Structure 1
Amino acid sequence: MTDDQGSSPIQYEVSIPSREALLAAVEAQSKPLPYDDIVRQFKLDDERQQIAVKRRLRAMERDGQLVYTKANAYGLPERMDLVKGRVIGHRDGFGFLQVEGGGKDLFLPHHQMQLVLHGDIVLAKEGGTDFKGRTEARIVRVVEAGNQDIVGRFFVEQGVSVVVPDDTRITQDILIPPEMTHGARHGQMVVAKVVSRPSRRSSPVGEVSEILGEHMAPGMEIQIAIREHGIPYEWSAEVQAEVGTIAEEVTDSDKQGRVDLTAMPLVTIDGEDARDFDDAVYCEPEGNGFRLWVAIADVSHYVRPKSALDNEAHTRGTSVYFPDNVVPMLPEKLSNGLCSLNPHVDRLCMVAEMSIDARGQLQKYRFYPAVMNSKARLTYTKVHKMLSGDPQLREQYAQQLPHIEHLKALYDVLKKARAKRGAIEFETTETRFVFNAQRKIEQIVPLHRNVAHMIIEECMIMANVAAARYVQDNQGLALYRVHETPDDERLEGFRAFLSELGLSLGGGDEPQPKDFTKLLQQVAERPDHELIQTLLLRSLKQAIYTPDNEGHFGLALDEYAHFTSPIRRYPDLLLHREIKYQLKQSKQKLAGLEGAFHYGETHMQELGAHCSSTERRADDATRQVDEWLKCEYMQDHVGAEFDGVISTVTNFGFFVRLSELMIDGLVHISGLANEYYHFDAQRHLLIGEHSRRVFRIGDNLRVKVKSVNLDERKIDFDIVDIENAGRIEDRRQAKKITDSIAAGAANKQGSRSGQAKGKGKGAPKGAPRADKSGQGKETGKKKPSAKAKAKAKARPSKGNRARKAKQAAKTKRK
């Protein structure tokens, strides 16, 4: 028998009951089941069986399946009204419990956060509500400690050494005993391993496990992000040994039996700074339509299931791209070598060959392993210039030019098909950091997409659709890239916002992508189009990986799976293995199907959740580095003025995004005119009580950089001309807004009052307890008058009077 403890399975030499059997035994009881009863019920007479079942029960405790009570018995968390979740800290000392399986987050006050660290998995019990109406939670037990390696700055003050965490969600300083500093110097960035957990009376204690270097050293922001987010960045000895056995170039034996595409004029088209080329394309007219070949590096040939390379790729899940740096999913020998479709060398590939009609519809497709030889390494800029008529480049790439023009003709057809099905397209601007020789930012420049980007994007989408259809048609299992339809709550809020602007979203209760697209087209020329686009984007869900094909809402596709980047995305590698497995099952006479593998449904569900998680981890890490670099850049621009647009409005102010640099900073409410401002969450605005001045998402402003806090990655702005900023609403509209805000506040207050009147569980501290009949003990009593209340408040309580008398007696004796 086996069980899970951490990431390594335990092998039991004796027979013991399964987790399912143990859970069933506990569920069958009306109260928690003692350990001795478990031993008797399952007749575990052998001492080795008893030791093994104890280990399994402990593992079930760690996973939150069982709770070990003070009476030495095992119970079910759900019967104890316990919930399992992840602790999310806040820089102000409180936190939230992100409940597992969804549901509303629970509030963790300061005194509860003293017991845990950000990222811990805990069991908690719901309590009452605080004065803001938030449901509080009381932590019962830490199920799994979060990241025990904490990155921070090392300080020594009055002989006491501490590490102040870089992550502001961890508010406790880590105490470092003198013998555990390991040579760290004051002000350096270090990694501290927690050796003693926090408690109500003591701070966490740690040991310096790694010294990263000086605080402002070039590239330090990347080193911090890698460790804070737990991104694997070193290759194990097993991986290095396995890579050492792989040949430097494609061998003749590897080419045997594969479809030979070495004569086909396939080319790669990537960015100027790209180092790995995992896709190559070629297109030619076919009747009224086109035939498209998309060749993808055959990573599955080299990375076999359950190998050291595969285990590492699974753990990483994705390559993580930082400015001027990358943490790859696969070692460089593969990612930049054998699995990179470099020009003029033979490479193994998996090919999607597709027939597309004049309407841009996929008619036929087939997949097969092949060997190819890229005829050119092109860039987006070069292709764009060639198609724009650049004579020098058209002459230089005269052999490739006809095929590039065929790709452009195919793109024109696919673009029309995309518009017809209503795929949602957003106007967004990305930026790129330009570094000098000392790796300091010289400038931040916008990145503009051209037609070459769009050509490759549409080719990759078509290959991804074909791969998803192939798996589905063959009843295979793979991870689909799913973008679900918006949920009702988000849609309701978005519709309410649109109604205030005199707009509406079509499609009734279930709007389709074309309804969102139609709305974006309708508002394209409005001055508030950016506001509407921002809120539309927020109404949509985040795309995930799952074996359940539920379509891609944003692209308006019924089936979609990632096939085109197995070098840098683990789901693509899994899809290649499944396609090879299905090709084997079809009994075609094909070589090159090494690495074929079919996963079970349960395993694939777990892989989907894991890959979605590693993708979010990478996004969070890159976002953190971007924020740090932007703050570093803005330190040299304190006092400078910029044009910007309000991107987010909150009850404490609003964030302005600088139009040229795409950098966000806060205009705090205290920096506005001397008056009361009220926040309208539905309309996403702040309105002055007397001035009727309104600030809302999408408004243009001129701002000045007030200050930059690099440690907290915060930028503060001031409005340059406050007297002329924002918009003054007429009295009727202003009254409508303020009445709406007041009504919302009254509804919240009424909701809190209702909670206070309920039974004991949801009632806030100080509310009357409920008796057995469900009636409050104070029910039926005459309400005290306002005068009586004032007297009672002024009169000292019995306890206070006793303490005062005791103090007076002491004073008299003295």
Structure 2
Amino acid sequence: MSKNDTKNKPEQPEYEVEIPSREQLLEAVETRLKPTTFDEIIAHFKLTDERQHMGVKRRLRAMERDGQLIYTKANAYGLPSRMNLIKGRIIGHRDGFGFCHPDDGGGDLFIPPNQMYSVLHGDRVLVQEQGSDGKGRREGHIVRVIEPRQGGIVGRFFIDHDLGIVVPDDSRLNQDILIPDDTRNGARHGQIVVVDITRRPNRRTSPIGAVSEILGEHMAPGMEIEVAIREHDIPTEWSKATLKEVEKFGETVPPEAYEDRKDLRELPLVTIDGDDSRDFDDAVCAEPDGDGWRLWVAIADVSYYVRPNTALDKDALERGNSVYFPNFVVPMLPEKLSNGLCSLNPDVDRLCMVAEMRISAKGKLRGAEYYPAVMKSHARLTYNKVADILDGDPKLREDYQHVLGQVDHLHELFKVLKKARQQRSAIEFETLETRFIFNAQRKIESIEPVRRNVAHTIIEECMIMANVATARLIEENEQAGALFRIHEPPSQERLTNFRSFLAELGLTMKGADDPSPADYAAVLEQVRERPDAELIQTMLLRSMQQAVYSPDNAGHFGLALEEYAHFTSPIRRYPDLILHRAIKALLKQQKGANQALVGAWMYPTEQLDELGEQCSMTERRADDATRQVADWLKCEYMQDHVGEEFTGVIAAVTNFGLFIRIDDLSIDGLVHISNLDNDYYRFDNERHLLIGENSRRVYRLGDKVRVKVRSVDLDERKIDLTLLAAESPTGKDRMPGSGNAPDGDKQPHKSRKKGAKKSGKSKKTTGKSRAKTKGSKKQ
């Protein structure tokens, strides 16, 4: 059940007699100096009917379950906040310990391994803070599970001595799940299954479960996506009510939808998307306008079809966004809408919401007008085609002669917008993305770098301008509530870490404790030609906060904008749909009833807070799931390259080794400290270094290296590398084994296996290597 469902759900059960509400019961407990007994509560409210007593008892138990009250050893009800209790969610760790992430957003509490035996990753719990551990971390003691994790657990099924066991795929779930014979559901040894927990773990026994679904064989094509979808609880099934709603839609725009809309079918709007795109949210058109420009950004009018509080709307909100896996998409809307009626396909009528903007010759927004319209895309262009057209490709220029003028106008406008972006010092990232190339059996044939071209940035600038204009509209009309896309400045801790990283490379950043986007942009410009520029950019990205959705405007630090909102992708992002409804509500206030403004909706502020949390959560969920699939596929690809050599760069330095990012593939592997050359190594956390005690050999972030693939563990999604050569930023070679380490008393640390093999856990028998180092230990 979603968070919104829980908040809107009425209290159960319904009682035949009147009893105090939860709020009244909480107030009664709060007014007393010590925990309150049941008899004291009954006396306080002067309840005489036995049915009232029973109703209060049931309600108190429900409040216990939800963590509002604690039932003490003295048979009394107390407040968690006055008993030093914290509500939060358990985050497991592959090494057996865990953390409790408080609901109130405070710092995480460390949960030692012996406390993790009775809980599972994802449980909501009550925790009592109990001082600090040996590393200075706040430590917690689990008092009670108040909400067990929801959904099934994905794992691999094994039979060991006639005992059925499922080893969870998620390394944050450290406990194997026992499967009785009568709940195997036909699962065979080695298959990937989904398990429902039937008996929770405790300090003495493992969890017991039942196989609810068999996903298939371990290495079956597409299995990585099936696993990620279930591990991250991504909805894939439409409700029956939604399917009924979708059946009512035809293949073309309904006749009544044309009423009261501007007719833009003659305007040379075009879509520009990726080669494999199927849902087209946006179309653009630009024309010179006096000493400036006029820009039309037409966005699919999803709000006409997806009405508030319908089954279709609820399913779209639960998904929050489309999730894009390699060669597979989990859409936010049913395909009949996402690839059909809502998609701005070429040469067909489509409904749209338009932002018509006036832009000065210096790229400043002069004003904007919004209205519903009907349009017809004049061409389905791709980024590569537009780039080739601008480069003068004769065949493409002939094929698209009817929109050549439009492409040229967009390019000229882009130059103006690009210059304005540079003047406001927005942070510009040049990220290297990769694409998986599959063969007919859906096995990875290659991993290719995908680089952005001028067409990507043309569309990006047009979309940014529309999003800025829309955010200003909402900012100026506070009654039209919507979600802003906010990106706050880096935290002090992240800023300090980034400055330390730069200092090790001999770089500095201006701005002291309050750097501006311009200060960050200056760093990127300073290192643009360096061989380690991509690594520096990656570290800069890590220093940033995560962008989220919020009804309160806090600006967008990365884009150096005072206001920003998402307007341009309502087919695949729910916040954009919210914004479209708000714009329609504003227009309806101004113009009265209007057929074209169907779907207008004013959201109350308290609902927007929940919507912002939900949409931010689903975005993170999608990012985590797609990253998991990419990691799996990269490991699968590298299994065929064990023993081969690659060049790369040291992307992270830890107390247990070096993470190497392989050039052009964006694949990270580990050179474990026990596999480095013959020495003891000290980890310098502040300067991101490993230093050999005898040889004084230094390994640091940004060093160019040559490595050999040692082994690949697909289950753990780990790639182990052997270091062959390293080159410092100055260009001086450092060959492992060629240093001046003496043959002294000290011997190199040898790796050792950590932990005994779990029963039936044949997929994870390699263990985790660890070598002791001086300095900080692995967190």
TM-score of the superposition, structure 1-length normalised?
0.87
Select the residue among 709, 716, 736 that pairs with 1:712.
716
1:732-765 alpha-carbon deviations (Å, 9 max, x no partner): xxxxxxxxxxxx999x99xxxxxxxxxxxxxxxx
1:165 aligns with 2:173: no
**Is the CA contact (8 Å cut-off) linking 1:507 and 1:515 kept in structure 2?**
yes
Instruction: Give the counterpart of 1:515 among 489, 496, 519.
Output: 519
Alignment partner of 1:669 out of 670, 673, 694: 673
**Structure having the higher Rg:** 1
Distance 2:214 2:154 in 1: 10
Q: Which residue of the partner structure matches residue 724 of structure 1?
A: 734
Q: CA deviation at 1:727?
A: 13
Deviation at 1:43, TM superposition (A): 4.2
**Quick one: distance in 1 between partners of 2:419 and 2:737?**
40
Q: Aligned with 1:369: secondary structure?
A: strand
The answer to whether the 8 Å contact 1:701/1:725 transfers is: no
Tell me the residue number matched to 1:524.
Answer: 528
1:68 deviates by 2.4
Q: Select which of 563, 572, 591 maps to 1:568.
A: 572
Equivalent residue letter for 1:312? D
SS in 1 for 2:671: strand
Matched, 1:391 2:394: yes
In the TM superposition, what whole-angstrom CA distance separates every residue of 1:339-377 from its partner, at most 9, and x where no partner exists? 111111111111111001011111110111111111111
- Mean CA deviation greater in 368-377 or 713-722: 713-722
Task: Indicate yes or no: 2:243 matched with 1:233.
Answer: no
Q: Which residue of 2 aligns with 1:9?
A: 10
Task: In structure 2, list runs of 5 or more residues that go unmatched.
Answer: 727-732, 742-772
1:417 to 420, 425, 436: 420
Identity across matched positions, percent: 63
Q: Who is 2:537 aligned against?
A: 533
Matches within 5 A, 1:289-688: 289-475=292-478, 476-587=480-591, 590-688=594-692
Deviation at 1:538, TM superposition (A): 1.8
In structure 2, do the counterparts of structure 1 residues 558 and 479 end up closer, same or farther at CA, with 3 Å as the change threshold? same
**For 1:260-283, what per-residue CA distance to the aligned partner results, in whole angstroms no more than 9, with x for missing partners?**
111111111100100100111111
Deviates more, 1:67-76 or 1:114-123: 67-76
Give 2:213's aligned amino acid: E
| 1:795-806 equivalences in 2 (<5 Å) | none
1:82 to 82, 85, 102: 85
**1:1-51 C-alpha deviation (Å, 9 max, x unpaired):** xx9858743464665544433333222111122233333333455566555
Whole-Å separation in 2 of the counterparts to 1:484 and 1:49 = 50
* CA distance 1:551–1:674, change in 2 (3 Å): same
Partner amino acid for 1:220? M
* RMSD of equivalent CA atoms: 2.3
Matching residue of 1:805: none
CA displacement at 1:98 relative to structure 2: 1.9
Deviation per CA, 1:690-713: give whole Å up to 9, x if none.
211111111110000000001111
Aligned to 2:758: none
Once the 2 structures are TM-superposed, how far is the Cα of residue 76 of structure 1 from its aligned partner? 1.4
Moved more, 58-67 or 277-286: 58-67
Contact 1:695 1:727 in 2 (8 A): no
- Residue identity matched to 1:665: G
Q: 1:697 aligns with which of 697, 701, 721?
A: 701
Q: SS at the partner of 1:156?
A: strand
Alignment of 1:30-45 (within 5 A): 30-45=33-48
Q: Tell me: CA distance 1:226–1:50, structure 2 relative to 1, closer, same or farther (3 Å).
A: farther
> CA 1:458/1:500 → structure 2, altered by over 3 Å: closer, same or farther?
same
Structure 1 residues 490 and 265 mapped into 2: Cα distance closer, same or farther (>3 Å)?
Answer: same
**What are the equivalent positions in structure 2 for 1:769-784 lying under 5 Å apart?**
none
Provide the secondary structure at the position in 2 that maps to 1:9.
coil
Q: Which runs of 5+ in 1 are unaligned?
A: 732-743, 750-814
**1:211 equivalent in structure 2:** 214
Distance 2:189 2:705 in 1: 42
Query: How much has 1:577 moved relative to structure 2?
Result: 0.8
CA contact (8 A) 2:301 2:352 kept: yes
Q: Whole-Å Cα distance in 2 between the matches of residues 428 and 247 of structure 1? A: 41
> Are the equivalent residues in 1 in contact too, given 2:151–2:233 (CA < 8 A)?
no
**Deviation sequence 1:397-439 (CA, Å, 0-9, x none):** 1110101110001100000010000100122100000101100
1:291–1:354 Cα contact (<8 Å) kept: yes
Whether the aligned pair in 2 keeps the contact of 1:549 and 1:559 (CA below 8 Å) is yes
**Length, aligned pairs only:** 734
Find the counterpart in structure 2 of residue 787 from structure 1: none
Partner of 1:126: 129
Q: Distance in 1 between matches of 2:468 and 2:705?
A: 43
CA contact (8 A) 1:694 1:729 kept: no
Per the alignment, residue 784 of structure 1 pairs with none
Q: Which moved more, 1:201-210 or 1:37-46?
A: 37-46
Contact kept, 8 Å, 2:695 with 2:740, in 1: the verdict is: no
Which amino acid is 2:546 matched to?
Answer: Q
Task: Report the CA distance between 1:63 and its aligned residue.
Answer: 3.6
Please name the residue that 2:225 is paired with.
222
CA–CA separation in structure 1 for the residues paired with 2:737 and 2:587:
64
Going by fraction, where is helix more abundant, 1 or 2? 1
Matched to 2:445, the amino acid is: E
> What is the deviation of 1:238?
1.2
Alpha carbons of structure 1 residues 59 and 558: separation in structure 2 relative to 1, 3 Å: farther
Q: 1:56-91: CA deviations, max 9, x gaps?
A: 444443443322223333221121111122111112
> In 1, are the aligned partners of 2:257 and 2:595 still within 8 Å (CA)?
no
Instruction: Write the distance in 1 (CA, Å) between the matches of 2:402 and 2:477.
Output: 39
Amino acid at match of 2:333: L
User: Which shows bigger deviation, 533-542 or 691-700?
Assistant: 533-542
Which position in structure 2 is the counterpart of 1:263?
266
Give CA deviations for 1:111-142 in whole Å, capped at 9, x if unaligned: 11100011111111122433333332111000
| Higher deviation after alignment, 484-493 or 551-560 | 484-493
Task: Write the letter of the residue equivalent to 2:612.
Answer: G
Q: Determine helix, strand or coil for the equivalent of 2:416.
A: helix
Aligned runs of 1:278-293 on 2, under 5 Å? 278-293=281-296
The Cα offsets for residues 121-179 of structure 1, whole Å up to 9 and x where unpaired, read as 11111224333333321110001111341111111121111111111111111111111
Measure, in 2, the Cα distance between the counterparts of 1:208 and 1:669.
40
Structure 2: distance between partners of 1:52 and 1:565: 49
Is the 8 Å Cα contact of residues 4 and 59 (structure 1) preserved in structure 2? no
Contact 2:681 2:774 in 1 (8 A): no
